Amino acid sequence: MKKIINVPEQVVEEMLQGMVLAHPQYLRRVDGFDVLVRVNSPVAGKVGLISGGGSGHEPSHAGFVGRGMLDGAIAGAVFTSPTPDQVYEAVKAVDSGSGVLLIIKNYSGDVMNFEMAAEMADADGITVDKVIVDDDVAVENSTWTSGRRGIAGTVFVHKVTGAKAETGAVLSEVKRVAEKVVANVRSMGVALGSCTVPAAGKPSFILAENEIEIGMGIHGEPGTHREVMSTADEITTHLVDKILADMPLSFGEEVAILVNGLGATPIMELYVVNRKVADLLGAQGVKVVKTYVGNYMTSLEMAGLSVSILKLDSELKELLFAQADTPALVQF
């Protein structure tokens, strides 16, 4: 294992310290916890938005804490959901009395830990609600699985829901918008190479030199299948086709795109992919009105990327275009 770390046990702690030092105008640490909140938390009269999950997906989620997006983020151990006490502290730190919405990626562990935190907050008289993001079309959503996974489309949930919360909307309205984003966002990824969890010390999986895994999850969970490496256009077509099979788009419809790098893939290649995504959607008469390209939800040093498509209506479009000022996303 070749990593620029000190000891595996201290990676998350030292990262959090470094984040606060880098972004003191945005972030403050909740003393004694792996929780970062806005410097001015709780924001009066505003529903608090919280997300979190295992570490290793930076800039998700603390990178999106700031005006127009999240109020707080909880960092679990690498690829491991944070514990309920940590989430509970985040809830307390961001609640202004208007209630708190938890944005949870759909993994059994995340859902259980966040639900336990919600029960603890509930016992304290804090109103907490939740939305579960399950945008990954690679895995089947059936009663025989734990449902779809939450991946990079979650960033759209942060952006749009954050804009709604910033307007001072009540919790039920903020939740309605969050659920609308979840219902209209789909993602699909591909991995070219593995990543190594620091505490594990060796790669999570092995792909042969000329092999890629279509549909790989952001923790190295298996995708739909492995195939021989092909061109950017072929891979992109595969990902977009799978998304459109699940969420058909009609002529004239407006969408936003996120081409997300998993950590080790050059931004150059993300742009190459973005060109093809725009091309494929354009050919169907779909209008791409907003595009994000970059590393928004990574998977340590995994090579690969995901494509997310958010179908917009006038409400979602307006909120997506609203201002945001966070360490990892600034939009004016």
Partner 1 sequence: MKVTTYEAMTAIGQAIINNKQFLTELDAAIGDGDHGINMARGFEAVGAKLQSLGADKDIGTILKTVGMTLISSVGGASGPLYGTAFLRAASQVLGKYELDQENAGMMLAAAILGIKERGKAMRGEKTMLDALEPAYESFMAAAKAEKSLLECLELACEAARQGVEFTKTIIATKGRASYLGERSIGHQDPGATSSYIILQTLLEYSRT
Where in the sequence numbering do the catalytic residues fall? 57, 219
Measure the CA–CA gap between 122 and 128, rounded to whole angstroms.
Answer: 7
Q: How crowded is residue 159: how many other Cβ atoms within 10 Å of its Cβ?
A: 29
Dihedral angle sign, alpha carbons of residues 162, 163, 166, 167: negative
Describe the strand order of the beta sheet including 225-228 as a list of residue ranges. Answer: 225-228, 211-214, 185-193, 303-312, 254-261, 287-294
Three-state secondary-structure class, residue 184: helix
Using DSSP bridges, classify how beta strands 303-312 and 185-193 pair: parallel, antiparallel or unpaired.
antiparallel
Tell me how far, at minimum, the Cβ of 213 lies from partner 1, in Å. 12
Of the two residues 48 and 220, which places its CB atom closer to partner 1 in the complex? 220
Of the two residues 107 and 292, which places its CB atom closer to partner 1 in the complex? 107
The number of CA neighbours under 13 Å toward the Cβ of 251 is: 1
Of the two residues 48 and 84, which places its CB atom closer to partner 1 in the complex? 84
CB within 8 A of 112, min separation 6: which ones?
81
Tell me how far, at minimum, the Cβ of 220 lies from partner 1, in Å. 7
Of the two residues 217 and 263, which places its CB atom closer to partner 1 in the complex? 217
Tell me how far, at minimum, the Cβ of 205 lies from partner 1, in Å. 7
Measure the CA–CA gap between 168 and 163, rounded to whole angstroms.
Answer: 9
Tell me how far, at minimum, the Cβ of 226 lies from partner 1, in Å. 11
List of residues contacting partner 1 (CB under 8 A): 54, 76-86, 107-109, 112-113, 116, 139-140, 144-146, 149, 197, 199-200, 204-205, 217, 219-222
Of the two residues 23 and 219, which places its CB atom closer to partner 1 in the complex? 219
Amino acid at 220: G
Amino acid at 296: Y
Tell me how far, at minimum, the Cβ of 80 lies from partner 1, in Å. 4
Using CA atoms, how far residue 199 sits from 70, 120, 151, 191, 324, in Å, is 29, 30, 22, 21, 35
